[in-house]
Amino acid sequence: MLDLELLAAKLEFDLEDVRMLLNMFLENANKSMITLENAVIENNFNEIKNSSHAIKGSASNLMLEDITTLSSKMEELAISSKDADYNSLFMGIKYELEVLEKMEVLA
């Protein structure tokens, strides 16, 4: 579970700012996930790369390690145009976003 107070201390922000940033991240990530899902279905490596890169960057800035790791792996595979189980990576990112969304402290 994400410790918001620890994250706020690491980012040197107050708790309300961290909540706001996480909510903005979720809003943007969910938009990127729609594009990413379509790219995975279409096996569009360029769009997989772009969408996973966007998610990775934002997640990394907020020290969301699991999302950063999954989206980074997806981006690396897409850059090399490798056939891979992109759907599993997508579902992993989706799961981590859902966990984050369910945190009552973000409301």
State the residue range of the domain holding 84.
16-106
Residue 66 domain-assigned (yes or no): yes
Residue 1 domain-assigned (yes or no): no
Residue 60 domain-assigned (yes or no): yes
| Residue 75 CB contacts under 8 Å (≥ 6 apart), including other chains | 48, 49, 52, 53, 56
Residue 40 domain-assigned (yes or no): yes
Residue 11 domain-assigned (yes or no): no
Residue 2 domain-assigned (yes or no): no
Residue 30 domain-assigned (yes or no): yes
What pLDDT, in 10s, does the model give residues 42-81? 999 999 999 999 999 999 999 999 999 999 999 999 999 8
Residue 3 domain-assigned (yes or no): no
Across 82-99, average pLDDT: 94
Q: What is the pLDDT of residue 41?
A: 95
Task: Specify the CATH number for the domain of residue 70.
Answer: 1.20.120
Q: How many domains does the chain contain in total?
A: 1
Residue 104 has pLDDT above 70, yes or no: no
Rounded Cα distance between 71 and 40, Å, is 13
Residue 107 has pLDDT above 90, yes or no: no
Rounded Cα distance between 90 and 23, Å, is 20
